[in-house]
Amino acid sequence: MTTDTKTNLFDLDCKGMETFFLALGSKAFHGRNVFKWIHKHGITDFDAMTDISKRLREQLHQVAELSLPQLIFEQPALDGTRKWVIELTDGQRIETVYIPEDGRSTICVSSQVGCALDCSFCSTAQQGFNRNLTVSEIIGQVWIATRELGTSPSNIVMMGMGEPLANFDAVVAAMNIMQDDLAYMVSKYRVTISTSGIVPALKKLRELSDVSLAVSLHAPDNALRDQLVPINQKYPLEELIPACREFVQGDKRRKVTWEYVMLDGVNDSLQHAKALIRLLEGTPSKVNLIPFNPFPGTQYQVSPAERVEAFRMRLKRSGIIATTRKTRGEDIDAACGQLVGKVKDRSRRDLRRSEAESLKVNIR
């Protein structure tokens, strides 16, 4: 096997690694061995992989590489949250967040540089969209976090910059690596993908990947959600809710986590709570109420704590599990909706958004 361009082995899940080594004329188990060296042991030097023959190592030097994004800055918060700024090979920057809590370690992973969905209450969305991340750039965030923490994270949430389902293939491959016993061994109940609701991709995800589901809901009716989450105009609640219900069907441990940012005077009344109860009837659900994180230029305000609590209690009385998310990392702009990274060519945002419209539904 010869190639003009070296294959970055960080872009391959275990099955892809086996296929790559078979194409080299080697054995599938050699692919599994290298996969384990990379992800479980954190080795990025072929010559340090002691159970690989010298001949095979020399061959790998010719046709493969182990290329990672680079951690360039770490910013700790007062509550123990840490934000990592990671630079990609083209100079773009993304942000990954570590959240310690109650003996758990959660890593919030980005899937895109910026975001094209333009949710009006999200600071990340206001920065525009540049491009999708590769598998190596997604799993590289977990690799870096594991090295920084000294152990694999117990929870991984695809809730960083970007809409994961708009980068379907790379995200699915990366989540496969996260769960693999030869890599990070994170349980299917502890890998969560968060989506604003690209319904065709959600249906395909159910067939290909066994992970937990969180949905950015933020409104109990189409009229309001159209304003807050514009993708709702393409995939309204009549399509989204049944797709989510189907996603968790057949597993009694599974619930859909509904992310609901509380916006003062917009979506936080008891009438909104009652409408949300009706909307979620028949769907195994947990509602995560999220205090709004203001950013410069936003039109929204934070809901008063007593109104958030009244909203939560109304849901609870109806039998819905409802929690209020504790804001983490707010002092370093690491809280929900605050990640912005370094998105270039912002003056071309309208063009990028137009290009992204086709990307959202281009699920092969």
Query: DSSP 3-state assignment of 106?
Result: strand
Q: Which residue shows structure tokens 């009694």? A: 252
Q: For residues 52-88, b (16+ Cβ closer than 10 Å) or e, as one string? A: beeebbebbeebbebbbbebeeebebebebbbbbbbb
**Could you say which of 95, 137, 163, 259 is catalytic?**
95
The rounded distance, in Å, linking the Cα atoms of 176 and 282 is 30
The rounded distance, in Å, linking the Cα atoms of 69 and 159 is 19
Residue 108 appears among annotated catalytic residues = no
Query: DSSP 3-state assignment of 323?
Result: strand
Predicted pLDDT at 355 = 40
Predicted pLDDT at 297 = 82
The span from the first CA to the last CA of the chain, in angstroms, equals 28
Question: Other C-beta atoms within 10 Å of 240: how many?
Answer: 23
The rounded distance, in Å, linking the Cα atoms of 214 and 287 is 10
Strands (E), 78-137: 82-87, 93-101, 104-108, 112-114, 129-132
Run means of pLDDT, 10 residues per run, the chain, 364 residues: 76 97 96 97 96 95 96 87 92 92 90 86 78 97 95 94 95 97 96 96 94 97 96 97 95 94 96 98 96 85 95 97 76 49 44 41 39
pTM for the predicted model, two decimal places: 0.89
Q: What is the enclosing helix (H) or strand (E) of 361?
A: helix 349-361
Q: For residues 34-49, b (16+ Cβ closer than 10 Å) or e, as one string? A: bbbbbbbeebbebeeb
Query: DSSP 3-state assignment of 226?
Result: helix
What are the chain's domains?
Answer: 7-65 (1.10.150.530), 70-361 (3.20.20.70)
Cα–Cα separations (whole angstroms), residue 274 to 221, 303, 309, 315, 318: 11, 17, 14, 8, 9
What values do phi and psi take at 177, rounded to 5? -65, -40
Q: What residues pair up with 48 in beta bridges, in sequence order?
A: none
* 340, 333 Cβ separation under 8 angstroms: yes
Helix-, strand-, coil-residue percentages of the chain, each rounded to 5: 40, 20, 40
Task: Give the closest residue to 124 by CA, choosing from 357, 338, 331.
Answer: 338
Q: What is the DSSP letter of 213?
A: E
The rounded distance, in Å, linking the Cα atoms of 351 and 98 is 33
DSSP of 178-193:
HH-TTTT---TTSEEE
Predicted pLDDT at 102 = 82
Task: Give the closest residue to 136 by CA, choosing from 88, 191, 168, 183.
Answer: 88
Give the Cα-Cα-Cα angle 30, 169, 118 (nearest 5 degrees): 145
The rounded distance, in Å, linking the Cα atoms of 14 and 12 is 6
* 322, 316 Cβ separation under 8 angstroms: yes
Predicted pLDDT at 80 = 85
Residue 115 appears among annotated catalytic residues = no
